[in-house]
Structure 1
Amino acid sequence: MRLTADDFAAYVAAHQTALLRFAVVLCGDRHLAEELVSDVLVKAFERWTDVATADHRHAYVRRMLVNHYISWQRKWARQRPYGDEIVDCAVSDRAHELAERDALLAGLRRLPRQQRAVIVLHFYEGLSTDETAETLGCRPGTVRSHLSRGLAAPRIDYTQREAPDA
C-alpha cells in the first residue's frame, strides 16, 4: 500500500474540524486548540505511514492530540497558573445558554489535565470507559476514578454558587 501526501490531505480535509472542536473542549482556548491541532497534524504527517496503517486513524490522531495537550500542560504549568485561560464567548440574547456554557468551561478549566481529558473523551467524544482507558493508556478503574472526581468538583462549586444569600 503506497501512502501519499494526497492521502494525508484527504484525512485532514475530513477530520480537521472535528479535531479542532475536540481540542477546544479539551483545552478551553480556541487559539491554543488551533496550535495543538497544527502541531499534532505536523507530527501525524511525519509519521503518516504509521498513522495510515493503524486500525483507526482518527483514534490514533486523537490520542496524539490528548498526549500533546497533556505534555504541553506539563511543560508550561510552571510558567502559567493553571486555569487562567479565558474562553472567547460572543455575548448574545442567549445569555442563559452562554452562562451555562461558561460555567461548564470554567469547571473544566479547574480540573487537572487527566480528569479533563477523561471527561472530554467520555462525554464529548462519547467513548466508553474501556475506550477512554485505551486512548489514554491507563486502566478502566483509573478512568472511573477520574470521572468520579472530575464530576464531583464542578457540582460542589455549582451548588455553593447557587446557595441563597443568608
Structure 2
Amino acid sequence: MKQLDFKEFYRADRDACLRAVLASVGDRQLAEDLVAEAFTRAWTGWAKVSRHPSPRAWVVRTALNTRVTWWRRRRREVTLADGHEVCGPDATDAALDPALLTALRRLPQRQREVVAFRVFLDLDTAGTAKALGIAPGTVTAHLSRAVAALRGELVSVPHQQRQQEDLS
C-alpha cells in the first residue's frame, strides 16, 4: 500500500513541486536535482511525510533546504565576483514562461520562496508561514512586494498608462 500511495502522490504533485522550486531557485537543472532529492527523501520517510498537513509543501521545503546544504558545502569551492549572474534565462524551459522566470530571478530569495508556496503550491498564508518558518504578516508583506515588482516588470507600459488613466 505504501508504494501505491507514494506513486500516486509523485505522479500528481511532481510538476507542481518542480514549478515551485524552479520559481524559487531560477535554474531548471538545479530545480530538477533538488526535487528529485526531496522526493527521494519523501519516499524513504513516506510514513511520516504522508501524514504531513501538506506533503507538497514538505517536498518543496526539503528541496529548498537541500539547496542551502549544497551551497554550504560548495561555497568554498567556487568564488564568484560580485554581480556575476550564475544562471541566465533558459529559452528551452517549458515549465514557466521565460519572461516570468526572468522576472522571478530578479526578486530577493525570500520573495521567490513566498511566491513559490503561495502561487505555485496554492498554500494559504498560514500554511506558507509555517512551511517557511516565518510570521503570516511577513508572508503577506513579501508577497505584496513580489507581486508589485512582477507587475512592474511584466505589465506593459501602455497597459499601465491606460490603468492610471482609468483611475483618474
Question: TM-score scaled by structure 1?
Answer: 0.69
1:31 corresponds to: 29
Tell me whether 1:87 sits opposite 2:89 in the alignment. Answer: yes
Which structure is higher in RCO with an 8 Å CA cutoff and minimum separation 6?
Answer: 2
1:137 corresponds to: 133
How do 1:31-70 and structure 2 match up within 5 A? Answer: 31-70=29-68
Q: Work out the CA distance in 1 between the residues paired with 2:149 and 2:79.
A: 25
Preserved contact between residue 83 and residue 110 of structure 1 (Cα < 8 Å): no
Q: Work out the CA distance in 2 between the residues paired with 1:124 and 1:7.
A: 22
Distance 1:8 1:143, change over 3 A: same
Tell me whether 1:116 sits opposite 2:112 in the alignment. Answer: yes
1:129 Cα deviation after fit: 1.9
Runs (4+) of structure 1 moved beyond 6 Å? none
2:165 corresponds to: none
Of 16-25 and 67-76, the range deviating more from structure 2: 67-76
- State the superposition RMSD in angstroms: 3.3
Of 103-112 and 34-43, the range deviating more from structure 2: 103-112
Identity of aligned residues (%): 35
Preserved contact between residue 70 and residue 114 of structure 1 (Cα < 8 Å): no
Cα shift readout 1:92-146 (whole Å, capped 9, x = no counterpart): xxxxxx9xx4332222112221111112222233322222112212101111221
Distance 1:147 1:11, change over 3 A: closer
Which amino acid in 2 is paired with 1:31?
Answer: Q
Question: TM-score scaled by structure 2?
Answer: 0.68
